[in-house]
């Protein structure tokens, strides 16, 4: 089990990556919320030597495959082969109304997207003819002056993020790994994700990555953390696409009620619907001394990489010790 953590936007990457590398984390992941993850990881690559770098995730359907092919290849070369390219489709409303891009048939689009990336990289790294003709995209022009500099690391591994079975099966077919959505549970991974991945999940070179909700620290920090978590869970749970996850746990009607409240702008009411059982299913809530065993009990044997964020005010030596204990507990 590899133990990773997350970084925020550009300024956060510059300030934290050296410390995170020294604390013993195996990798860092940059998401796409209010900044570009490729920019954050470029800074992180320059400020580090060993730690792995990953996008978790870059929104694929908001970008051309060629654009991502350039950014990922450049970053993989610049970092000395440390990039994991994590891609996600995002929900339809964001793709169409925030990014002004098409978003129908997301699983089919993501499958073709990965194949397009591989076709471009095969041309750059192996000299294959670039003649990709897909249903949604085509790449048939690559003058020699536009080919990036050659390097020894080859294309980066591609990991796809998802929740439902269709996207999970696409990851098993064309990707090198799968990133579980943060809004997930160990039961969902065990009963839905791994069966959908099938034989791919058993391959030594296929990664299964998750960033579960973790609430830890002092009693006061845990109390505040749970209150914040209820709001986050209510936000995610209001998305109709995530209803199957709630259905698995018998909470489908709560999902419908949260969706209605979100459409009515009743955000203050939504967190009240998140019960203690829901908090327990979606998050590992534990004191620092108990956290390694609790994480191992829930996710050991399910994942190849586990990402968590320690409390920001935890002393560095305690964080380093916690990382070591989590890795040891999960491996055991």
Q: What is the DSSP string of 199-231?
A: GGGGSTT-EEEE--EEE-SSHHHHHHHHHHHHH
Within 10 Å of residue 184's Cβ, how many Cβ atoms?
21
Mean of pLDDT values over 277-293:
97
Compute the distance between CA of residue 20 and CA of residue 24 in angstroms, rounded to an integer.
7
Res 12: pLDDT: 81
SS3 call for 314: coil
Q: Is the sign of the CA dihedral 31, 36, 40, 42 positive or negative?
A: positive
Given a contact cutoff of 8 angstroms between Cβ atoms, the answer to whether 40 and 13 are in contact is yes
Domain boundaries, the chain: 2-211+300-331, 217-285
Q: Is residue 233 very low, low, confident or very high in pLDDT (cuts 50, 70, 90)?
A: very high
Q: Is residue 162 very low, low, confident or very high in pLDDT (cuts 50, 70, 90)?
A: very high
In the chain, where does DSSP find H-type helix? 10-22, 37-46, 65-78, 92-93, 106-126, 165-174, 186-188, 194-197, 219-237, 243-248, 252-263, 267-270, 276-282, 291-299, 316-331
Tens digit of pLDDT for each residue in 307-322?
999 988 899 999 999 9
Q: Is residue 268 very low, low, confident or very high in pLDDT (cuts 50, 70, 90)?
A: confident
**CATH code for the domain defined by 2-211+300-331:** 3.20.20.30
Given a contact cutoff of 8 angstroms between Cβ atoms, the answer to whether 41 and 83 are in contact is yes
Compute the distance between CA of residue 174 and CA of residue 160 in angstroms, rounded to an integer.
9
Res 286: pLDDT: 97
Mean of pLDDT values over 254-263:
95
Checking if the pLDDT of 13 tops 90, the result is no
> What is the pTM assigned to this prediction?
0.95
| Short-list 227, 201, 216, 204, CA closest to 293 | 216
Helix-helix angle 316-331:291-299, to 10 degrees: 30
Tens digit of pLDDT for each residue in 167-205?
999 999 999 999 999 899 999 999 999 999 999 999 999
Given a contact cutoff of 8 angstroms between Cβ atoms, the answer to whether 246 and 259 are in contact is no
Res 305: pLDDT: 98
Residue the block writes with tokens 């709630």? 246
Checking if the pLDDT of 15 tops 90, the result is no
For residue 243, give both structure tokens.
Answer: 């209803």
Compute the distance between CA of residue 220 and CA of residue 218 in angstroms, rounded to an integer.
5
């Amino acid at each position: 089990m590899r133990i990773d953590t997350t970084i925020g936007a550009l300024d956060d990457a510059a300030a934290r990556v050296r410390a995170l590398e020294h604390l013993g984390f195996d990798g860092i992941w940059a998401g796409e919320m209010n900044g570009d993850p490729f920019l954050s990881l470029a800074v992180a690559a320059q400020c580090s030597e060993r730690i792995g770098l990953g996008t978790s995730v870059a929104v694929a359907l908001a970008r051309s495959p060629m654009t991502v092919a350039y950014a990922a290849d450049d970053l993989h070369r610049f970092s000395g082969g440390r990039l994991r390219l994590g891609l996600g489709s995002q929900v339809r409303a964001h793709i169409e109304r925030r990014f002004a891009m098409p978003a129908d048939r997301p699983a089919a689009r993501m499958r073709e997207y990965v194949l397009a990336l591989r076709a471009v990289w095969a041309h750059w790294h192996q000299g294959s003819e670039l003649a990709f003709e897909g249903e949604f995209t085509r790449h048939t022009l690559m003058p020699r002056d536009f080919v990036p500099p050659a390097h020894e690391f080859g294309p980066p591994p591609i990991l796809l993020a998802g929740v439902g079975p269709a996207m999970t099966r696409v990851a098993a077919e064309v990707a090198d790994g799968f990133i579980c959505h943060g809004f997930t549970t160990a039961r969902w991974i065990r009963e839905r994700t791994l069966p959908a991945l099938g034989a791919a999940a058993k391959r030594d070179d296929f990664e299964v990555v998750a960033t579960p909700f973790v609430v830890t620290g002092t009693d006061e920090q845990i109390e505040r953390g749970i209150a914040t978590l209820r709001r986050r869970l209510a936000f995610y749970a209001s998305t109709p696409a995530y209803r199957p996850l709630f259905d698995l746990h018998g909470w489908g009607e709560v999902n419908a009620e949260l969706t209605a409240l979100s459409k009515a702008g009743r955000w203050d009411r939504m967190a009240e619907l998140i019960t203690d059982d829901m908090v327990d299913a979606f998050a590992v809530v534990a004191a620092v001394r108990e956290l390694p065993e609790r994480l191992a009990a829930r996710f050991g044997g399910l994942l190849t990489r586990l990402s968590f964020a320690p409390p920001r005010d935890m002393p560095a030596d305690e964080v380093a010790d916690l990382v070591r204990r989590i890795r040891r507990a999960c491996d055991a």
